[in-house]
A = this chain, B = another copy of it.
Amino acid sequence: MSTMGTSYYQFCPVAKAMELLDERWTLLVIRELVSGGQHFNDLRRGLPRMSPSLLSKRLQQLQRAGVIARRHSGNNVCYTLTQAGSELRPVVEALGSWGTRWIGELGDADLDPKLLLWDMHRNIDRNAVPEGRTVVHFDFPDAPRKLQRWWLVITKDGADVCDIDPGYEVAVSVTASLRRMVEIWRGDVGWGDAVGRGMLEIDGPEAMRRALPGWFTLSVFAAVPRPS
């Protein structure tokens, strides 16, 4: 137990848990693992502002704490939660529910389109999407040049995020401010509301336009009831 958070010198289990978990980024790494990330670069995509050396350090700490296991699968490395790690899911969920209810305001800097698309790509309801290849195009006119246009390529094998036009035919096109799209994703605003108020535009064949909201299950926390 060499390099873990400083001790609180308390026997209280909350304190003991926080010695491990209160360090910056740690619980977000857990969140990524809970969300299904397995490989180093998977995790990095969900934690773009975290330096690779720090991620590496955190993974080692968590491994030493018995929260994750590091395995070689083929010539790949694979991180998975142990039983102890899996049981951190309720902690992550409690934090996310609380954050959803009580941390309303997002700064502009919180609105990372890459992160948004990465999150969307892993919350797609495959059964709802048409067979074959379906491409959804997102346009955020207010975002910086390089981050304006995105494509989500959905096939039966999964979904890929592209920041350059993959060239395939686009099934549906979504245009909105980045903030609005994030709010929809978080469940702060409904698809219908946003369209009705002209805050979001969906283009494409009517059947597709109608179906699109069903393709995404939204963030896990979207359904959390908000304070009255």
Contacts and interface: CB of A to CB of B under 8 A. Distances in A.
Interface stretch (A24-32, A147-155, A162-170): A24-32
A87 interface: yes
Interface stretch (A71-79, A88-96, A131-139, A209-217): A88-96
Main secondary structure of the interface of A (DSSP, over half): helix
A92 B227 contact: no
Nearest to A87: B98
Given A28-B18, A98-B91, A109-B7, A186 B23 contact: no
A6 interface: yes
A115 interface: yes
Interface string A6-41: 111111111111111111111110010000000000
Nearest to A26: B22
Copies in the complex: 2
A112 interface: yes
A11 B185 CA distance: 10
16 contacts: A6-B24, A9-B110, A10-B28, A10-B49, A10-B115, A11-B110, A11-B111, A11-B112, A11-B115, A12-B28, A13-B98, A14-B27, A16-B110, A84-B101, A84-B227, A88-B98
Interface residues of A, number: 60
Interface of A: 5-28, 31, 49, 66-67, 83-84, 87-88, 90-92, 94-103, 106-107, 109-112, 115-116, 119, 182, 185-186, 219, 221, 227
